[in-house]
Amino acid sequence: EAGVTQFPSHSVIEKGQTVTLRCDPISGHDNLYWYRRVMGKEIKFLLHFVKESKQDESGMPNNRFLAERTGGTYSTLKVQPAELEDSGVYFCASSQNTLDTQYFGPGTRLTVL
């Protein structure tokens, strides 16, 4: 069974540009989560989808971040326009049910110059 995959593995952009990160959850997992770890800080929750619906987006830092999960399969996280403080590693995770194990992808390392 394939795990959670993320694309790209690494993205380097300039301040003000737009970047879109993609996450493919484990097949059959209705729950999809985005987290990020910015420089030297803890891994922090961004948002949670149940199928295509946003269950909890309390961790989204501001309106420059937009997450979608059309069709309830893969998800995208768009940052527009990117700022220097957005640099970090963005993780996606999925679980079959809430309260189950969340399986993480390898992460996308975002560098904003």
Partner 1 sequence: SQQGEEDPQALSIQEGENATMNCSYKTSINNLQWYRQNSGRGLVHLILIRSNEREKHSGRLRVTLDTSKKSSSLLITASRAADTASYFCATERMDSSYKLIFGSGTRLLVRP
State the residues that interact with partner 1 by CB under 8 A.
31, 33, 35, 41-45, 48, 55-56, 58-59, 91, 93, 98-107
Of the pair 80, 101, the CB lying nearest partner 1 is at 101
Convert 8-45 to b/e letters by CB count within 10 Å (16 or more is b).
Answer: eeebebeeeeebebebbbbeebbbbbbbbebeeeeeeb
Of the pair 44, 64, the CB lying nearest partner 1 is at 44
SS3 109: strand
- Least spacing, CB of residue 81 vs partner 1, in Å: 26
Of the pair 7, 17, the CB lying nearest partner 1 is at 7
- Least spacing, CB of residue 52 vs partner 1, in Å: 16
Q: Which two tokens stand for residue 19?
A: 């970047």
Of the pair 30, 68, the CB lying nearest partner 1 is at 30
- Least spacing, CB of residue 62 vs partner 1, in Å: 18
Per the rule left: phi > 0, alpha: psi between -120 and 50, beta: everything else, 51 is left
d(CA 75, CA 5): 11
